[in-house]
Amino acid sequence: MTRTRKVVWEPTLEQRGKSNLWRFMEQEQIPDYETLLRRSEEDVSWFWDAFIRFAGIEFARPYRRIVDGSKGLPWPEWFVDGKINLVHNFLDKWAEDDRTAKRPALLWEGEAEEERRFTFAELQREVNRFANTLNSLGVARGDRVAIYMPMIPETVISLYGIYKAGAVAVPLFSGFGPEAVAVRLRDVEAKAVVTADGFYRGGQQVLLKHVLDKALDSSPSVKSVLVAERLGEKALLVPGRDWLWSDRMAQASDQYETVETDAEEPCMVSYSSGTTGSPKGIVHVHGGIAVKTAEVGMFIYDTQPDDIFTMVTDFGWMMGQLPLFSAHSVAAPFLIYEGSPMHPHPGRLYEIIDKYKVSVFGAPATALRLLKTYAEAFRGKADLSSLRILGHTGEPIDEETWSWYLSWTNGRAPIINGSGGTEVFAEILSSVCVAPQKATCLGATPAVGAKVVDELGNPVPAGKSGYLVFTVPQPAQTRGFWKNRQRYLDTYFPLGEQMWWQGDMVTVDEDGFWFHLGRADDVIKVSGRRTGPGELEDVVNQHPGVLEAAAIGVPHSVKGEAIVLFVVMKPGASLDASALKGHVSSTLGKPYEPVEIYAVSDLPKTRTQKIMRRLIKQRFLGEKLGDTSSLMNPAALESLPVRTKIDS
C-alpha cells in the first residue's frame, strides 16, 4: 500500500565532507555508506572499537574484548573487564581540560524567560556537590535514586551526580500522579528521591512536591528527599527525611572523585509503560550508554562542538537524556526549556531558536503539527538560519508535516527521523546526513542488523509492510527488566533468541528507503492486509481541515477489522465525515475507507507526544484499560466515545 515517493533532499559535498560520519569513513577507508553498513554488521567488534578511538571515549581500565556474545542476543556482555563512568566522558574530561573547561555546557530558559548558564567547569562543581550530598544522606554505590523533576538545571546536575557516585538513576515523568510514582518507587526500592517544589507549565504552577508526598505514604524504602526550590513556595518538609536543595548543597564540597564503575554496572532503571499490568523497569549500564549515545550524537545527529542542541522532551524519558549525552559527547552545549512550547504564544519555540542560535533542533510530530497550525505567523518573524539539523523521533510523521518541517531552512537542513526506544536507548532506524532522503523516510544505521519480517520471522519483500527486528547485539540494549528476567525474554524475543522484536511496523520500498508505519500493537488487519496506523493517518492528515488523527481497527464480521478514525479538527473547521471517507478511499483504496469517524477535542498522548492508540481502542470498545500512568492528558481519554455495538 506504500505510495511511491521521490528523493527530496540530498547532502551537498560540503555537508557530507564535514560530517562526523564521513570523516570516520575516511579514517577507516570506507568508500560509501552502504559498505559501512555491511562491514559494521559483519564485524561488530571492529566497528565499535574504531568508533571508540574516533570519538576519544576514555575507559578508566581498558576493555580486553568489545563484546562477548556467548549467551546469545538477549545477554551480550560489552567492553569486557573495562571500567568506565559515563560522567567522565560527558563532563569530567571537558571540565578538566583547559581548552574546554570554560565552554558553555548547559543553557536553561525558564517559561518566564529567565536564563541560567553553566560552563563545563561550573557544571562539574555543582555535580560534585550533589554527589557529596548523596553520600552525606547515606546513598551508596548501587542504591537507586529516583528523579521526579521538571526541566530545570538541577535535573541535569542530579542525573550526573547520581552516575558520578555510582548510584542508579530512576527517571520519573514529572506528569505522573501519586500512584504511578509510588508503584515505581516500590518496585525499584528507591532509597532517595530528588524533586522540586514545583515548576511552571503554560503559565500555571505545578506543585510537584505535593504529589510526591502522597506517593511517599506507600513507599517505605525512601529515606531521603531533596527538594529544589524552583517556585519558592513553602513545600512541606518531613523532619529527618526531606531537605532543601540549597541547604544541603551549600554544605557540600565541590570536589569529588568519580566512581570507577564496571562497564556492565547498572546506571539506570528507566520505566516504560506496559500494554497491561505493571510498567517495565528497563536496566541500563554505564558502558553501553556512554558509547552508544556518543555514537548517536556524532553519527546520527552529526553533533559538532560549536552546535547548540535542544529538543522538545522531558527528562522522565530516555529522549531527555539522549540529546544531553549526544551534545556532551563532543563538548557542545545543551539547551533545556522549562515550559509549554505554546506559552505565552505559539511562536515561543521559534523565539528560542532565534535567541540561542540553535543549530540542532528536535521535536515530535505532534508538536510540529501544532506549530504548523497555530504558529505560522511567528515563523517568518524569527531568524532560523542557524538551524543545521532537524530532528524527529517516536511517532510516524505525516508527509505534509515532514515537508513543511523541511521548509524551515528552504530544504537545506536534513531531517533526522529515527525509531528506537527506551529498551535500546537509541535509534534502531534513522536517516543520516550523508544519505539522500524521501519524505518521512528513516534509514539503516551501522552495526544494528535491522530487518523486516512477517509474524513467523521470515523476510518480507520490498514494498510490503512487516515487523521491525534487529539481529546484531547493541551496546545500550537493556540488560533485562528489573527483577523480571522472563518478562524481558517474552517481550523482545517472541520469535526466538536470534532476533529482537522491536515493536514497530515498517516497510522498505523498492529503492531501499525505510518508512515507519506505527506500533505493531496498533496494526490494523483489513481484508487480510496488515496496515500500520501511520500510513492511514498520513493520508487523513493531508485533509485540509484535520489537525491530527488516530486510526484503530475494530472487529468486523466480514473484513476481520474495520477502520475507525478519531480526528482533531483545525480551528474553524468542522468534520465532513463523508468527504473524509472519500479522501481516504480515493487515496488508499476502498478497503481502507473508515466505517466511522469521530471528531474529538484531543487525543490521549504520552509526555513525549506519542498517541496512545491502544488506550483509544480499549476505551472505544469498552475494554479494561491497560497502563495509563504515562498519559499527560488523561481527560482526553475520558472524553472519547464508547461504542456499545460492533456493526458488521
φ, ψ of residue 64 to 5 degrees: the values are -100, -10
Judging by DSSP bridges, how do beta strands 242-244 and 224-228 pair with one another? parallel
Q: Sorting pLDDT into bands at 50, 70 and 90, what band is 539?
A: confident
Distances in Å between the Cα of 279 and the Cα atoms of 130, 184, 276 are 29, 8, 8
Nearest in space to 534 (alpha carbons), one of 570, 562, 569, 507: 507
Q: What is the pLDDT of residue 607?
A: 66
Q: How many domains does the chain have?
A: 1
Residue with cell 515548576: 199
* Cell numbers given for 67: 563484546
Note whether residue 70 is domain-resident.
Answer: no
Classify each residue of 294-305 as buried b or exposed e, where b means 16 or more C-beta atoms within 10 Å of its C-beta: bbbbbbbbbbbe
Length of the chain: 648
Q: Percent of the chain, pLDDT > 90?
A: 75
CB 231 within 8 A of CB 103: no
Nearest in space to 133 (alpha carbons), one of 250, 258, 248: 248
Nearest in space to 274 (alpha carbons), one of 34, 86, 482: 482
Whether the bond between 533 and the residue before it is cis, its omega within 30 degrees of 0, is no
Task: Report which listed range, 254-268, 314-328, 510-524, is most confident.
Answer: 254-268
Residue with cell 518507587: 185
Q: How many helices (H) and strands (E) does the chain have?
A: 22, 31
Q: Sorting pLDDT into bands at 50, 70 and 90, what band is 608?
A: low
For residue 648, pLDDT over 50 is answered with: no
Note whether residue 564 is domain-resident.
Answer: yes
Q: Sorting pLDDT into bands at 50, 70 and 90, what band is 529?
A: low
pLDDT digits (tens, 9 = 90+) for 309-340: 999 988 888 888 999 999 999 999 999 999 88
Mean pLDDT along residues 171-187: 89
CB 215 within 8 A of CB 225: no
Strand partners, 334: 106, 309
Q: What is the residue range of 541's domain?
A: 523-638
For residue 624, pLDDT over 70 is answered with: yes
Note whether residue 587 is domain-resident.
Answer: yes
For the packed helices 348-356 and 365-374, what is the interaxial angle rounded to 10 degrees?
100
pLDDT digits (tens, 9 = 90+) for 285-295: 999 999 999 99
DSSP letters, 568-624, are EEPTT----HHHHHHHHHHHH-GGG--SEEEE-S---BBTT--B-HHHHHHHHTTPP
Judging by DSSP bridges, how do beta strands 415-421 and 426-430 pair with one another? antiparallel
* Long-range CB pairs of 578-586, under 8 A, 24+ apart, other chains included: 579/543, 580/540, 580/543, 580/546, 583/539, 583/540, 583/542, 583/543, 584/536, 584/539, 584/540
Mean pLDDT along residues 12-22: 97
Nearest in space to 465 (alpha carbons), one of 519, 538, 392: 519
Mean pLDDT along residues 155-168: 98
- Please state, in angstroms and rounded to a whole number, the distance separating the CA atoms of residues 211 and 198: 10
Give the mean pLDDT of the chain. Answer: 92
Note whether residue 429 is domain-resident.
Answer: no
Q: What is the pLDDT of residue 38?
A: 98
- Please state, in angstroms and rounded to a whole number, the distance separating the CA atoms of residues 76 and 292: 14
For residue 647, pLDDT over 80 is answered with: no
- Please state, in angstroms and rounded to a whole number, the distance separating the CA atoms of residues 152 and 150: 6
Q: What is the DSSP letter of 89?
A: I
Note whether residue 28 is domain-resident.
Answer: no
Measured CA angle at 163 (ends 159, 165), to 5 deg: 120
Q: What is the pLDDT of residue 631?
A: 79
Better-predicted residue by pLDDT, 538 or 184? 184
Q: Is the pTM of this model over 0.85?
A: yes
Note whether residue 491 is domain-resident.
Answer: no
The domain that holds 556 is classified in CATH as 3.30.300.30
Mean pLDDT along residues 236-242: 95
Q: What is the pLDDT of residue 1?
A: 45
Q: What is the pLDDT of residue 280?
A: 86
Task: Report which listed range, 257-266, 489-498, 563-572, is most confident.
Answer: 257-266
- Please state, in angstroms and rounded to a whole number, the distance separating the CA atoms of residues 364 and 216: 33
- Amino acid sitting at position 371: L
Mean pLDDT along residues 406-432: 95
Helix-, strand-, coil-residue percentages of the chain, each rounded to 5: 30, 25, 45
Q: Sorting pLDDT into bands at 50, 70 and 90, what band is 275?
A: very low
Q: Sorting pLDDT into bands at 50, 70 and 90, what band is 58?
A: very high
For residue 559, pLDDT over 90 is answered with: no
Measured CA angle at 287 (ends 281, 291), to 5 deg: 110
Note whether residue 181 is domain-resident.
Answer: no
* 21-35, 37-51, 199-213, 284-298: least confidently modelled range: 199-213
Q: What is the DSSP letter of 206?
A: E
Note whether residue 569 is domain-resident.
Answer: yes
SS3 label, residue 457: coil
DSSP letters, 301-355, are S---TT--EEES--TTSHHHHHHHHHHHTTT--EEEE-S-TTSSSTTHHHHHHHH
